[in-house]
Amino acid sequence: MTASDPRPALGLRPVINASGTMTSLGASIVVPDAITAMGELLPQFVEMGDLHRLASRAVARATGAEAGFVTASCSAGITLTVAATMTGPDLAAIERLPDATGLKDEVVLLAGHMVDYGAPVEQAVRLAGARVVPVGQATSASGYQVAGAITENTAAALYVVSHHVARYGMVPLSTFIGIAHGRGVPVIVDAASEYDLTGFLAAGADIAIYSAHKFLGGPTGGLVAGRKDLVRATYLQNRGIGRGMKAGKETLIGAVAALEAWEQRDHVAVRRRERDALDHWLSVLAGRPGIYADIEADPTYNPLDRLRVVVVPDEARLAAWDLVDALAAGDPPVIARDHEAELGYFYLDPCNLHPGQEFIVGRRLAEILDEAQQRNEPLVSDFAARKMRQEAAILNWPD
């Protein structure tokens, strides 16, 4: 927390983000260039069509695409690109959606890619008026199943790149693209939290969608990049269902500034700072009873690492999820990456730390683990009850 931190005055907890690029925490630290660009443009008026053209060129330049488009989020990008494959530039059809009568309305999606990123990915498809056609099973899909799912009513094939998806048994992207293109079906890649801005299009995808607010460090927004005709049809959805997903002038110019800053970023220095944080946490946890920590590479091959912390309750005197909850409840609150805590481990991600916060995280870990060792019996709360409490808290909003 800095002297200019507004959170205490607003009654908000000054959390430390050791979880990564999480929407639930406000995504990422916005880069100074984007903050400046947004602040300068906000008091001014612009012709939004021209600003969209400027943003299109910036997205295209960064991704190697023919054109680009900025919308409200990556999830909105999925909905609108699916809509684009259904309507093309037909304004009458755009106004009718989500009524897809007379349009191709099927979207092929691997069952192992039907994940929840805060909302179900298939819901983003349904919002366009399309229907998801699942391919294969949760942990198994083959090329013949992709081919068999494509019909004369298929509008698009959607491929999700995420740490949430099944990590084995899936059809590789290159095979997926080859089969879809062989049937004349465009391929959309959901690459919300990916570093690689060029590889998916270079591999043959027709559309790749990125979050402006994750690794890029821009404002909340979705970047749609790809074939000019499909990007144009995506932009035209602003005259229909995209109206409720539109991006304002601050998002457009902030995304442009973030893309330009990305091209100038010293990525090697960033990785070095992150590695220093990981090494510090390793040293804090080394030799502690029931704690086994190791540095693990990102599962989707982004050039970054996280610390995987395995907790053995009988030895550590608490469960992985109880350690995570204690971190979050402390002063200051530290939010860890706990998607898989039920399996006995969690992650610490250094990519969104402010300078010096790695030492605060290390101190909090040491305090909690030292206290746990003083117990006569391990503290292992009921994980199912924890999940129910979290659901109840959501339902109790805004109280």
Residue 398: cis peptide before it, omega within 30 degrees of 0? yes
Q: So where are the chain's domains?
A: 7-24+267-395, 31-264
The full DSSP string for 8-65 is HHHT----EEES-SBGGGTBSPPPHHHHHHHHHHTTS---HHHHHHHHHHHHHHHHT-
State in words which class domain 7-24+267-395 has.
alpha beta
- The answer to whether 20 and 349 are in contact (CB under 8 A) is yes
Element (H, E) at 394: helix 383-395
Q: Is 260 left (phi over 0), alpha (psi -120 to 50) or beta?
A: alpha
- Amino acid 247: pLDDT: 96
SS3 215: coil
- Amino acid 377: pLDDT: 85
pLDDT in tens, 119-158: 999 999 999 999 999 999 989 999 999 999 999 999 999 9
- Amino acid 79: pLDDT: 98
- The answer to whether 159 and 130 are in contact (CB under 8 A) is no
pLDDT in tens, 360-369: 999 999 999 9
pTM exceeds 0.75: yes
Q: Do domains 7-24+267-395 and 31-264 have the same CATH topology?
A: no
139 to each of 36, 149, 165, 211, 391, how far by Cα in Å?
A: 45, 17, 9, 26, 27
The full DSSP string for 320-360 is HHHHHHHHHHSSS-EEEB-TTGGGTEEEE--TTPPTTHHHH
Q: CB 142: neighbour CB atoms within 10 A?
A: 15
Looking at the DSSP assignment, which residues form a beta bridge with residue 297?
305
pLDDT in tens, 191-218: 998 989 999 999 999 999 999 998 899 9
Q: Is 333 left (phi over 0), alpha (psi -120 to 50) or beta?
A: beta
| pLDDT-based confidence at residue 1 (cuts at 50, 70, 90) | very low
pLDDT in tens, 249-283: 999 999 999 999 999 999 999 999 999 999 999 99
State in words which class domain 31-264 has.
alpha beta
Contacts of 163 (CB under 8 A, 6+ apart): 193, 298, 299, 300, 339
- The token pair that represents 74 in the structure block: 């990556």
From 49, 1, 55, 18, select the one nearest 221 (Cα to Cα).
Answer: 55
- Amino acid 3: pLDDT: 60
pLDDT in tens, 324-337: 999 999 999 999 99
